[in-house]
Structure 1
Amino acid sequence: MRVLGLDVGSKTVGVAVSDAFGWTAQGLETIKINEEEKVFGFEQIGKIIKENEVSKIVVGLPKNMNGTIGPRGEASQFYGQELEKMFGLPVIYWDERLTTMAAERVLLEADVSRKKRKQVIDKMAAALILQGYLDSQK
């Protein structure tokens, strides 16, 4: 069974999935959402869960540098709670401090253009979140 990793933002959700053994994370896609209009992409996530036989979901939890949880962290927790209700899968929250910055740094070092970086940054951040979780399980 695979693990799904999500980087939840206000406009997009980066999606990554583990291999069948739970060793490596691969960025899958970026889903556009709109919090104000209550469009959260749950239908697409449901398809991904079914297609990949997902057994667990890891949601990135953005904490402030002092460890407290701010508005974005609360939004991620809400998202995770909704996923748990809809799909009946366990949701694990993973401290995602600096993952988007790390993804940006990797893409800059690879000399990826600004336009392409914008297209892949969220799914790459999701892969970093998921890989951090997978590594902690070994």
Structure 2
Amino acid sequence: MGLDIGDRRIGVAVSDELGLTAQPVLTLVRKNRKQDLKSLGRLLRKYGCAAIVAGNPLYMSGDVSPQAEKAQAFAHLLREEFGLPVYLWDERLTTTEAHRHLQAAGRPATEHREVVDQVAAVLILQGFMDARRVQTASD
């Protein structure tokens, strides 16, 4: 499962059974920590997820941003709550790239807000899976 973790919303994506492609699932509107974890737990069970990839929004310099600190803390909670591996993935510019993908697909800007977090989650998960495939091929 791939997550684009924000203060108000969490974009969620999952991979296909072969781990080749990422697909959007939904945008979770955050309520509180307990509800957020409960909703994510349901999705993890529904899709049979074995790991979580959480976006890590670093500054362009590579330094840890305040938002990255929040994402890292939430990733830690996910590890504790679900006992699954949680990988942090550099998500610099994924939201910008998500907006570009939506524009290229002809989606009006007014619709972007509804799905941009899902698309960002797809980009995070797909980038992680692609990098693992390349790394495995070179080993």
Residue 116 of structure 2, aligned match among 104, 115, 121 = 121
| Bigger proportion of residues as helix | 2
Number of aligned pairs? 133
SS at 1:54's partner residue? coil
Q: Report the more deviating stretch, 111-120 or 82-91.
A: 111-120
Aligned to 1:108: 103
Amino acid paired to 1:120? V
Q: Match for residue 14 of structure 1?
A: 11
- 1:94 maps onto 2:89 in alignment: yes
Amino acid corresponding to residue 116 of structure 1 in structure 2: E
Q: TM-score, normalised by structure 2?
A: 0.91
Partner of 1:44: 39
SS at match of 1:20: coil
Classify the secondary structure of the residue corresponding to 1:137: helix
RMSD of aligned residue pairs (Cα, Å)? 1.2
Paired residues of 1:18 and 1:24 also in contact (CA < 8 A): yes
Q: Structure 1: 5+ residue runs without aligned partners?
A: none
Which blocks of at least 5 consecutive residues in structure 2 are unaligned? Answer: 134-139
Choose between structure 1 and 2: higher strand proportion: 1
Q: Which residue of 2 aligns with 1:24?
A: 21
Identical columns (%): 39
Paired residue secondary structure (1:30): strand
**TM-score normalised per structure 1:** 0.92
- Could you tell me how far apart the structure 1 residues matched to 2:36 and 2:110 are? 23
- Of residues 73, 79, 95, the one that matches 2:68 is 73
